[in-house]
Structure 1
Amino acid sequence: MIGNLGRIGPARLFVHFVVLLIVLIWLLPTLGIFVTALRDRDQIVVSGWWTAFAGSTRTTAVRLAGTDKATQDGPNYVISGNVSSDSNGNGKIESFGMRVQDPAAYKAGAPADIGNGETLTVNADGSYRYQKNAAFDADTRGKRIYLTISTPPEFTLQNYRTVLTGEGIGQSFINSLTVTIPATIIPILIAAFAAYALAWMEFPGRALLIALVVGLIVVPLQMSLIPLLRIYNEIGQIFGVPSKTYPGIWMAHTAFGLPLAIYLLRNYIAGLPKEIIESARVDGASDFDIFVKIILPLSFPALASFAIFQFLWVWNDLLIAMVFLGTDKDHLVLTAALNALLGSRGGNWEILTASAFVTIIIPLLVFFGLQRYLVRGLLAGSVKGG
């Protein structure tokens, strides 16, 4: 192992370090969202997610019982009770104080001399004993004190249950899958046929079509969105088809994803060994047989790499979904539902983070499931051509 490290140059070590640093920077927000979504709302308010495993500390103000609750104990007068129900938490009281500027002036469990012959003892469990060597002044409201409370780490799945059952995110999750899966499969199927034709079939205008595909890659989505929507609505009026349907958004995503898909797959397929295809043709195989039995199995890395890109693009899309599906609650996708949730529940971080993590679960599974094909497919498609 030491010998291998010795053969790695400083430049290569630096590159490895930079890559590792970038990976950690990208993972930190995801980890923060995941941890925050599992925390209680009160803990989110008082401390950051990086303190979740160490607990949190907060300061709160409470009032002791009024002087009408005082009892005489020999020469002293005593007010006793428990402040746990007033401190809004199940944490442990670490210290207390009489002023907001110094809420940790006295340790919990230790008697504190607060002057005028008065002593106050507040225990960690919230019980207290307020004692004076003479009768208390009339103050039915009770004395205000400040508590420093430490709360142990606490995690819950309630945030996810709230999101999936009460916020409409569950239905939006299904809607996103309904949009994303066909919008990923359809362009791959069409692009695979087109890529094979552009790579291995001779016909007039092939070079022009290849140049057109490359040109379409750089066309901004926003430039073609409105014309496409108008054409779609006009076709719907002619055939009496509703304008806000899933097939419409499938076709829109297919149209926007086809140029890149054809470009990547065509370059990859053109780089496959020519001898294999020629041998199949000598044996009498048709173009369809060659495509199905030879090209598709050999092109799986390229297909998988584009599937990752297309799936992530469609899953995270908001603009096309709102244009072609609208804001109807029954057709709202996850990104649109999360955007609406941000407006209505902007202060509920536990709900927002749980919703956000629900949206990234599927993309993470897809990426990690197919990432071994990503680099291999993209590199082959970028350096090989025919």
Structure 2
Amino acid sequence: MSSIAGTKSGLTWAVHISVVLLVALWLFPTLGLFVSSFRTADQITSSGWWAAMLPAERNESLRTGAPDSQVQQDGQWLIQGNLFEGATDATISSWGTSMRDIGAYAPGDTADMGEDGRLTVQENGDYRLVNSQEFSGRRGERVFVTIQTPPEFTLQNYKNMLLDPSNREGMTKAFFNTLTVVIPATIIPIVIAAFAAYALAWMRFPGRALLIAAVVGLLVVPLQLALIPLLKLHLAVGIGKGYLGVWLAHTGFGLPLAIYLLRNYMVGLPRDIIENAKVDGATDFQIFTKIILPLSFPALASFAIFQFLWTWNDLLVAMVFLIDATGETTVMTKQIVELLGTRGGNWEILATAAFISIVVPLAVFFALQRYLVRGLLAGSVK
């Protein structure tokens, strides 16, 4: 019975588990970046993003007031105040007078320190140090505390990275530079590839089979192989490093896949529609613009997703054909690399910059994802 057509395979469960694992591997890092981008530096260093909704704990060493602040009261010498020395939402969950035993006392307990007096610490940081003899020395007593801070989220990270014009490390200019690169570098190859794919699919001319074979062969040419020769060509013809050069580079590198994908889709379109249009007197250009393009939208959207994601996340091509010494054309990937060097310890800044860089690709993918599978499977089934 297992061989009957239409029955479910015994490996269906393995496929489902694989899909769940792949989704989890993609979702958890993205969710971590999103949560971390709204946290403060102290919160990030004290706990992981998965504990963002829970109070964070950290150990600190604080001091009481100096002996010069003592007062005499009822025959006792008294130093009192607040360990935090300022307004805060933090609370003390445990404390101690030795680093070896930070949790020796709970808030409200009194520690007998012998000749140094008796110390009482409250949950909000208030302390009271009492001694029968006058305190001496220049510094206060050291108190080791375990501090709990409530969950804290802020928009300041995004304000610094997007809305602060004085911040040279911000992402605003890099964001618009990236859009300047990506939009033309996505549209130009789609337009050229659509014309070429129609010609290879429905027009008869000598050498068509060789052109199709050449397109398939170009799919396996390594990108790195053409970078330096292409840059030398750009410099020789006067293009140099700039937006035009990076547009042409992305167009050249993206055309083989675009032509191959669109040609496979257009070949599978009903022949009767095109033949009827020709009988009615339609030209090839009219057939292409009024029939082929509307019917090929899934394939166009599929390639647009790939090309957009590739150019948006590109660093290598931008480094070779675009980056200048002034930084006026710096794209987001290069800006993040620079942040790793200058702000490598500021995880809140890095998380915010990284999440800003993936918001637009996510929006594009989810907006066009229903066309992705239809475009990728184009021409696979007759």
Q: TM-score range by the shorter chain?
A: over 0.9
Q: For 1:29 and 1:72, locate their aligned partners in 2 and report how far apart those are by CA, in whole Å.
A: 58
1:94 positional shift? 1.4
Question: Could you say what secondary structure the match of 2:81 adopts?
Answer: strand
Residue of structure 2 aligned with 1:276, choices 273, 280, 283: 273
User: Are 2:338 and 1:333 aligned?
Assistant: no
1:159 positional shift? 0.8
Q: 1:212/1:9 Cα in 2 relative to 1: closer, same or farther (>3 Å)? A: closer
Letter in 1 for 2:226: S
User: Are 2:50 and 1:50 aligned?
Assistant: yes
Superposed CA offset, 1:348-384 (max 9, x none): 1111111111100110000111111101110124445
Q: Is 2:66–2:140's contact at 8 Å kept on the other side of the alignment? A: yes
Q: For 1:140 and 1:251, locate their aligned partners in 2 and report how far apart those are by CA, in whole Å.
A: 71
1:77 positional shift? 2.3
1:113 positional shift? 3.3
1:66 positional shift? 2.0
**Which residue number corresponds to residue 139 of structure 2?**
141
Q: For 1:296 and 1:229, locate their aligned partners in 2 and report how far apart those are by CA, in whole Å.
A: 34
What are structure 2's unaligned runs of at least 5 residues? 1-6
1:36 positional shift? 0.8
**Which residue number corresponds to residue 216 of structure 2?**
214
Give the count of matched residue pairs: 371
The 5 A counterparts of 1:18-57 are 18-57=18-57
**Which residue number corresponds to residue 4 of structure 2?**
none
1:72 positional shift? 2.4
Residue of structure 2 aligned with 1:267, choices 264, 269, 279: 264
Question: Could you say what secondary structure the match of 1:135 adopts?
Answer: coil
Percent identical residues: 58
**Which residue number corresponds to residue 348 of structure 2?**
350
1:9 positional shift? 6.1
Letter in 2 for 1:300: F
1:272 positional shift? 0.7
**Which residue number corresponds to residue 123 of structure 2?**
124
1:151 positional shift? 0.5
Q: For 2:67 and 2:236, locate their aligned partners in 1 and report how far apart those are by CA, in whole Å.
A: 79
**Which residue number corresponds to residue 84 of structure 1?**
84
Q: Is 1:264–1:382's contact at 8 Å kept on the other side of the alignment? A: no
User: Are 2:165 and 1:172 aligned?
Assistant: no
1:136 positional shift? 3.8
Greater fraction helix: 1
**Which residue number corresponds to residue 3 of structure 1?**
none
The 5 A counterparts of 1:1-386 are 11-85=11-85, 90-116=89-115, 118-132=117-131, 134-164=132-162, 165=164, 166=167, 167-236=169-238, 243-327=240-324, 328-383=326-381
Superposed CA offset, 1:52-100 (max 9, x none): 11121011111111223222222432210111127x9641111211111
Question: Could you say what secondary structure the match of 1:377 adopts?
Answer: helix
Q: 1:356/1:117 Cα in 2 relative to 1: closer, same or farther (>3 Å)? A: closer
Superposed CA offset, 1:178-211 (max 9, x none): 0000000000000001001000000000000000
Q: Is 1:67–1:140's contact at 8 Å kept on the other side of the alignment? A: yes
1:344 positional shift? 1.0
Q: Is 1:80–1:130's contact at 8 Å kept on the other side of the alignment? A: yes
Q: For 1:352 and 1:187, locate their aligned partners in 2 and report how far apart those are by CA, in whole Å.
A: 33
1:168 positional shift? 3.5
Q: For 2:116 and 2:137, locate their aligned partners in 1 and report how far apart those are by CA, in whole Å.
A: 17
Question: Could you say what secondary structure the match of 1:186 adopts?
Answer: helix
Q: Is 1:46–1:56's contact at 8 Å kept on the other side of the alignment? A: yes
Superposed CA offset, 1:198-225 (max 9, x none): 0000000000000000000100011011
CA RMSD of aligned residues (A): 1.7
Q: Is 2:84–2:125's contact at 8 Å kept on the other side of the alignment? A: yes
Q: For 1:303 and 1:81, locate their aligned partners in 2 and report how far apart those are by CA, in whole Å.
A: 69
Q: Is 2:336–2:353's contact at 8 Å kept on the other side of the alignment? A: yes
Question: Could you say what secondary structure the match of 2:151 adopts?
Answer: coil
Letter in 2 for 1:148: T
Deviates more, 1:344-353 or 1:64-73: 64-73
1:115 positional shift? 3.9
Question: Could you say what secondary structure the match of 1:272 adopts?
Answer: coil
Q: 1:219/1:9 Cα in 2 relative to 1: closer, same or farther (>3 Å)? A: closer
Q: For 1:71 and 1:282, locate their aligned partners in 2 and report how far apart those are by CA, in whole Å.
A: 107
Q: Is 1:43–1:56's contact at 8 Å kept on the other side of the alignment? A: yes
Q: For 1:198 and 1:123, locate their aligned partners in 2 and report how far apart those are by CA, in whole Å.
A: 81
